[in-house]
């Protein structure tokens, strides 16, 4: 059997890029889960403080509490969007595989942006308020 080396190389590159897209998405999803848990812990600690002081904190460290809550809501919404998008995936149609990987890549970008925002806000929460 003769295999055209160019076709074999292109298929191998495409397969490699698909593996990379999937690996990037897995990493971004894992990080989102970890950051989500850290944000919940941060807010829970602030709630415990509220119970002692009877006052809702406007800031946790130097991060506005409403920004933490808003970010958690955005993270939750993005996960819902991802699940809805991936429910529509046509795995039986090979022609749609490229489109499915593009969807995963675009979700990865959004997850990475949310992760970056979470890490920034968590860092701000560690600084003492002025």
The pLDDT of residue 8 is 42
What tokens were used for 82? 């991802």
The pLDDT of residue 35 is 97
Cα separation, 56 vs 70, in Å, equals 16
Cα separation, 55 vs 97, in Å, equals 52
* 61: region left, alpha or beta (phi > 0 left; psi from -120 to 50 alpha): left
The pLDDT of residue 2 is 55
Give every residue of the chain whose pLDDT is below 70, as ranges. Answer: 1-15, 50-56, 90-92, 129-130
Its pTM stands at 0.80
Per-residue model confidence as pLDDT tens digits over 49-80:
766 666 667 888 899 999 999 999 999 999 99
What tokens were used for 114? 């949310």
Across the chain, the runs of DSSP E, i.e. the strands, are: 59-60, 63-64
């Amino acid at each position: 059997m003769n295999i055209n080396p160019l076709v074999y190389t292109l298929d191998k590159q495409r397969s490699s890029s698909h593996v990379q897209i999937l690996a990037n998405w897995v990493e971004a999803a894992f990080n989102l889960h970890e950051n989500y848990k850290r944000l919940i812990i941060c807010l829970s600690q602030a709630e415990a403080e509220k119970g002692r002081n009877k006052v809702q904190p406007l800031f946790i460290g130097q991060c506005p509490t409403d920004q933490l809550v808003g970010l958690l809501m955005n993270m939750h919404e993005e996960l819902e969007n991802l699940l809805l998008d991936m429910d529509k995936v046509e795995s039986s149609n090979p022609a749609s595989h490229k489109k499915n990987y593009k969807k995963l890549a675009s979700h990865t970008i959004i997850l990475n942006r949310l992760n970056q925002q979470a890490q920034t806000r968590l860092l701000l929460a560690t600084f003492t308020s002025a």
